[in-house]
Amino acid sequence: MSFRSLTLKPGRLLATIHETAQLFGPKGVWGPESTQTGVCRLSLSDLDKGVRDWFIKETENLGCEVKVDEIGNIFAIYPGKNPDAKPTAIGSHLDTQPTGGRYDGVLGVLSGLEVLRTIKENGFVPNYPIALINWTNEEGARFPMSIMASSVWAENIPLQQAYKLESVTDTDPVSVEHELKRIGYLGPVKASYKTNPIAAHFEIHIEQGPVLEDEERKIGIVTGVQAYSWYKVRVFGKASHTGTTPLLARSDALLAASKLIVKGNELAKKHNCLFTVGVLNLNPAVVNVIPEFVEFIIDVRNPTDEGLTKILADIKETFPIIAKESGKKLAVEFELIYTSDAVKFHPDCISSVRDSAISIVGESKVREMQSGAGHDSCATNSRVPTSMIFIPSKDGVSHSPEEYSSPEDVHIGFEVLLNAVLQYDSFRKV
């Protein structure tokens, strides 16, 4: 049987997306229909445990061998004709942002599940095993490090560094290690590409931007991902009474932080970069006390490593100067959270995606593009051939309850993924 003759079940993938959204963390109503909510399913929360348990049950029912590693990544391995070979992987994540939508990484995992369901129902046996992976804490929302567990697996960051990360969304912060143990997902398998290898990695995702929709394209052939870096910036000032301290005598940490954020945006325009502050905390948070401490996290992105290096150098040079000019007792401190270098995906995987996409929607409906956001594929690409598939996002909206991709686009994306993975399986030699 040729994989191109497989019988599909249109609509089942979308139904599964909506089912898991309703069961595990619906939040943020944006329309009258039951499916018109977002999802809040933070990494290693009780809701995350629930969807993980569901995922394992579903994949075991398909005949998969399920392995959980020591950072909580779940590998569901469907058998192939060469059972001892490294599996071809489909991977993404089931965790969401606090204001997340129904698609984001969830589309990637559940599209992979639909691939396994389809080949099982058709009696199709791939040449090599296929691993469906749920990577832990891709979002970095609860624990502030994006693509955390895939980076541990790739040995790009130490396991203990990830274990020690503390949550930023809980009143009483807890560590990654604590929560893995609490929900029962600190697995026995070593988190390493060396001891738990895969041969290649494919990931389907919503674009999270407006380009495909604006250009009326159906599929984005993702050739790489831009570089980005996250830093904590701490501003130290002096607390004082708001009614008795003259403006010129103040060392207002929040005022200085505001100037730094504005400067960051100016530098982004200068260097053709992106600069964002999405987290800001101050102390003391009292109406009549001048803030003495502010901490905020900057997210800086550029298509090239060189461009990212230049803007970060400018930030580190100018921020202390601005702080000093804003008050005698003001100082700035930087702490690196994470840097992801610019990524170029593997030509063989890109070719499989391209051929699959063109065969399904035609050349005029596909577009090669670079991802603006980081994904687990950034980490896997450092160790194995990798590529990604994008489908359109309505109005370019993501990380919002109103995140939406049409039923047609969801199904087309699944077809492209299915064909790309099985085409890669057909010409793999090892």
Of 108, 102, 94, the residue nearest 185 (C-alpha): 94
Pairing of strands 130-134, 219-225: unpaired
Gap between the Cα atoms of 353 and 329, Å rounded: 56
Chain-centre distance of CA 346, in angstroms?
19
Gap between the Cα atoms of 80 and 87, Å rounded: 8
Q: Is the pLDDT of residue 374 over 90?
A: no
Q: Mean pLDDT throughout 97-116?
A: 97
Q: Mean pLDDT throughout 114-123?
A: 98
Mean pLDDT, the chain, integer = 96
Of 23, 55, 52, the residue nearest 39 (C-alpha): 23
Contact 220, 412 (CB under 8 A): no
In the chain, the amino acid numbered 390 is F
**Interval 401-419: pLDDT, tens:** 999 999 999 999 999 999 9
Q: What is the pLDDT of residue 364?
A: 98
Contact 231, 335 (CB under 8 A): yes
Gap between the Cα atoms of 427 and 415, Å rounded: 19
Strand partners, 293: 236, 283
Contact 11, 127 (CB under 8 A): no
**Interval 151-168: pLDDT, tens:** 999 999 999 999 999 999
Segment (H or E) for 278: strand 274-283
Q: Is the pLDDT of residue 229 over 70?
A: yes
Of 173, 92, 96, the residue nearest 132 (C-alpha): 92
Q: Mean pLDDT throughout 214-219?
A: 98
**Interval 4-58: pLDDT, tens:** 799 999 999 999 999 999 999 999 999 999 999 999 999 999 999 999 999 999 9
Gap between the Cα atoms of 409 and 392, Å rounded: 7
Q: What is the pLDDT of residue 4?
A: 77
Q: How confident is the model at residue 280 (pLDDT cuts 50, 70, 90)?
A: very high
Q: Mean pLDDT throughout 254-265?
A: 98
Q: Is the pLDDT of residue 1 over 70?
A: no
Q: Is the pLDDT of residue 275 over 80?
A: yes
Name the percent of the chain lying above pLDDT 90.
96
Q: Is the pLDDT of residue 2 over 70?
A: no
**Interval 170-204: pLDDT, tens:** 999 999 999 999 999 999 999 999 999 999 999 99
Q: Mean pLDDT throughout 215-230?
A: 96
Per mean pLDDT, which range of 130-134, 269-273, 327-331, 426-430 is the poorest?
A: 426-430
Q: What is the pLDDT of residue 373?
A: 87
Contact 403, 101 (CB under 8 A): yes
Q: What is the pLDDT of residue 216?
A: 97
**Interval 315-373: pLDDT, tens:** 999 999 999 999 999 999 999 988 888 999 999 999 999 999 999 999 999 999 999 88
Of 65, 222, 48, the residue nearest 130 (C-alpha): 65
Q: Is the pLDDT of residue 68 over 70?
A: yes
Q: How confident is the model at residue 101 (pLDDT cuts 50, 70, 90)?
A: very high
